[in-house]
Amino acid sequence: MRIRIDYETRYSYSRPARFIVQNLRVTPRSTESQQVREWRIETDVDTKLRRAEDSFGNIVHTLYTERPTERLTVRVTGEVATTETGGVLRGVPERLSPQVYLRDSTLTHADAALRAFADRVGPGDDLTRLHRLMAMIHEEVAFMVGSTTADHTAADAFAQKQGVCQDHAQIFIACARRIGIPARYVSGHLHRTDGLENQDAAHAWAEGWVQDLGWVGFDAANGIAPTEHYVRVASGLDALGATPFRGTSYGGGMETMTVALRVRQMQQLQQQQQGIGW
């Protein structure tokens, strides 16, 4: 499958910001399940972009503005060819031991309720237990846009039994670590099979470490393993380590951010263009 992604993030400030710094984890890496055919990052004001890799192996671009800025738009566009691998991740350079992903974090800390929930997973091999955990979360935690914010922890979302994909992923991670299985957070994009192209935000899921298989993806929000409809971008201990945009501004007063995201299959895009005479 060929997937086209158009991702625009707009920042506006109540007065010009003297200096803006943003870390962008928006660039996917080619793996056995996805080949990046085209990818670019553009801005509508003069900026500097420096490419590097973080400790998790993510491609990170650091963006700096060069003059006082009242508005900034960052456009990310690209095309990725994906294949079905049953959720198994291969071809990614791993910088860290899987045991690092047993480490606790503020957003994925398992409180008493999460520990009790994780203990219900029961016995079995690790792959079976992770699939069982994913099904339990999908059944018991409702998907509800606007019910949480980026600051909500796994425990917060589990307590109210609702959240968005970030919350489902972090609940999965907290519980997997509780039962002794390394797990990590993944950010990326999902081509929806219901035909909805315009989306409010990027997608998120989790990966668990399974001996002899390696990292395997689990999307508890949808109750499935990632398929060829998924584009993997970044990973980390929790959402903070894989968030697409994270940074700060100096001056500028109140900041407002809006996001526009469109994820399309290239075949559908070509048919649309032919239909309107492009």
Tell me the pLDDT tens digit for each residue of 169-196: 999 999 999 999 999 999 999 999 888 8
- The domains of the chain are located at 2-275
Percent of the chain whose predicted confidence (pLDDT) is above 90: 91
Residue 274 has pLDDT above 70, yes or no: no
Task: Please determine, looking at this structure, whether the domain spanning 2-275 carries the CATH number 3.30.420.40.
Answer: no
Over the stretch 74-89, which tens digit does the pLDDT of each residue have?
999 999 999 999 999 9
pLDDT of residue 195: 83
Helix (H) or strand (E) holding 17: strand 2-24
Give me the mean pLDDT over the 205-227 stretch.
Answer: 97
Give the integer Cα–Cα distance in Å for 118 and 179. Answer: 7
pLDDT of 49 over the 70 cut: yes
Which residue has tokens 């710094």? 21
Query: Structure tokens of 57?
Result: 């192996």
The answer, as to whether pTM is greater than 0.85, is: yes
42's CB contacts (< 8 A; 6+ apart) are 74, 75, 77
Please measure the distance between the N-terminal and C-terminal CA atoms of the chain and give it in whole angstroms.
Answer: 22
Q: Does residue 199 carry a pLDDT above 50? A: yes
Give tens-digit pLDDT for 55-64: 999 999 999 9
Least confident piece of the model among 43-52, 185-194, 265-274: 265-274
Over the chain, what is the mean pLDDT?
A: 94
Structure tokens given for 24: 């962008």
In this prediction, residue 253 has a pLDDT band, given cuts at 50, 70 and 90, of confident
Residue of 193 and 105 predicted with greater confidence: 105
* Confidence label for 278 from pLDDT (cuts 50, 70 and 90): very low
Backbone phi and psi for residue 93, each to the nearest 5 degrees, phi listed first: -70, 120
Picking from 178, 153, 155, 170, the residue whose alpha carbon sits closest to that of residue 207 is 170
